[in-house]
Structure formats: C-alpha cells, structure tokens
Amino acid sequence: MKRTYVYRSFERFWHWTQAALILFLAVTGFEIHGSFRFFGFDHAVHYHAVAAWSFLVLIVFAIFWHFTTGEWKQYVPTWEHLRAQADYYVFGIFRNAPHPTKKTVLSKLNPLQKLTYAGLKLLVIPGVVVSGLLYMFYRYPQRHEVLGLNVRSLQTIAVLHTAGAFLLVTFLVAHLYLMTTGHTVTSNLKAMITGYEALEPDPPPVRAESPSPSPAGGPVAALDAIAVAD
C-alpha cells in the first residue's frame, strides 16, 4: 500500500459543496412540501431558490472539470464484477471478506458505484434540476413567458421533483453508510477531505508496440493480469 493522491482539490471542493447544497435543498424543499416547519415557508422558498441557482453554477463547473480532465470516464458503467460487488455488500462485508475490486487512481469507483453515480448524474440530478426549473418559472408565467411550454398543471412537475428529491435523500443515506466500508471506517472520509489514501499502485501501462511476446506471455498476459486485478 502506498499513500496516493486520489482526489484533486476541485474534485473535493465539488464533492463537499454538492453534498451541502443537496442536503440544504432537501431540508428547505421538504419544508416547502409541508413535512416540517423550520425556517418558515417564505424563507424556505427563498433559500431553496438561492441554493438551486448555486447548485446550477456548481454543475456547470463540474461538467467542465469532468470533461477537461477526462474524469468522466471513471463513471462509465460496466457489468464486470458488478455481481461480485453486490454480493460483497450483502454477504461478504459481514464475513470480513476481501473487497472484490481494487481501488486505483485510474479506477476509483467500484462497478456498483459507477452504475449508481452514472444514474444520478444522467437521470436523477437532471430530472430534479429540469423539474425544479419548470416549477420555478411556472410560477411566474407572464414574466418569463413559460406558458409557451404549455405546462398546464404543476402536479406532474411537483411529483417528478419530489420523487427525485426522495431518490437523492435515499442516496445520501446509503452513501453515508457505504462511506464507512472502506479499508477502515474513516479511510474514505479522510481521503475525500485530504485527497490522499493508502492504495495499491496502478499497474504499469502496457506498451502496444512491444517486440515479440516473451516466454512469460508479454503484453497480452500483462493485459490479462490487469483485467484480473481490476
């Protein structure tokens, strides 16, 4: 194991700001929904709108960062080891079984995380954002002319927005539990605060233009070894 820089500064800033905003949007949103009273309805509406715009700005920067760094590739879902990872969370973890996949700088997310985060980024968050914006502008149709969208009832929008909110809150709870299942209870948390985590090093890159295969099997065997290690 080697102390490795896994999460860069923008990534950590984005992660924690997103977490705080989603939590705050959930608190103010469920107050608007009528689940409890804390800030008072009018304040909750105002705070929800401010946090929503901040969230949109953060999303624009995060999209830019993911594409310029190539980090978006980390989130491409794969079936490989998906079953093993699910089995680990349901059974293995309670028997002290080893993690079925290895975390490296080039592969930070396990297959279940890839699938969940891709779903969040491509479906749940866009769903909450789009329904939230329709909700926001529907309320002032004359001012913003959103009547052109022919949104006649708030009901569908409200149901979609609230369903997305429930999914995000469910994700937060599961995320908090799974955060504690790293090498130690706090290793994942510390890594997202400091950026550093003790990891096995990434396998060395395989050179495609290598000469004829060595007796040990050459590049093909090396690729197989990487696949198994992953």
Binding site for ligand HEM (CB under 6 A): 22, 25-26, 29-30, 32-33, 45, 48, 52, 55-56, 128-129, 132-133, 135-136, 158, 161-162, 165, 168-169
Amino acid in the structure at residue 49: A
Amino acid in the structure at residue 77: P
| In the complex, minimum distance from the CB of residue 57 to ligand HEM, in angstroms, rounded to a whole number | 10
Residue (165 or 222) nearer to ligand HEM, CB: 165
Please give the radius of gyration of the chain, using alpha carbons only, rounded to the nearest integer.
22
Look at residue 58 and give its three-state secondary structure: helix
- The pair of structure tokens assigned to 52 is 């929503």
Measured CA to CA, the distance from residue 138 to residue 132 in angstroms comes to 10
Residue (86 or 129) nearer to ligand HEM, CB: 129
Measured CA to CA, the distance from residue 193 to residue 196 in angstroms comes to 8
Q: Could you tell me which of 168, 189, 194 has the C-alpha nearest to residue 178?
A: 189
Burial class for 165, CB neighbours closer than 10 Å (0-12, 13-18, 19+) = buried
Measured CA to CA, the distance from residue 162 to residue 33 in angstroms comes to 8
Which helix or strand (DSSP H or E) is residue 228 part of?
A: helix 218-229
Measured CA to CA, the distance from residue 194 to residue 123 in angstroms comes to 30
| In the complex, minimum distance from the CB of residue 112 to ligand HEM, in angstroms, rounded to a whole number | 22
| In the complex, minimum distance from the CB of residue 29 to ligand HEM, in angstroms, rounded to a whole number | 2
Residue (32 or 178) nearer to ligand HEM, CB: 32
| In the complex, minimum distance from the CB of residue 55 to ligand HEM, in angstroms, rounded to a whole number | 5
Residue (29 or 111) nearer to ligand HEM, CB: 29
Residue (153 or 212) nearer to ligand HEM, CB: 153
| In the complex, minimum distance from the CB of residue 188 to ligand HEM, in angstroms, rounded to a whole number | 22
| In the complex, minimum distance from the CB of residue 158 to ligand HEM, in angstroms, rounded to a whole number | 3
| In the complex, minimum distance from the CB of residue 115 to ligand HEM, in angstroms, rounded to a whole number | 20
Residues 222, 206: contact at Cβ < 8 Å? yes
Residue (158 or 206) nearer to ligand HEM, CB: 158
Residue (22 or 199) nearer to ligand HEM, CB: 22
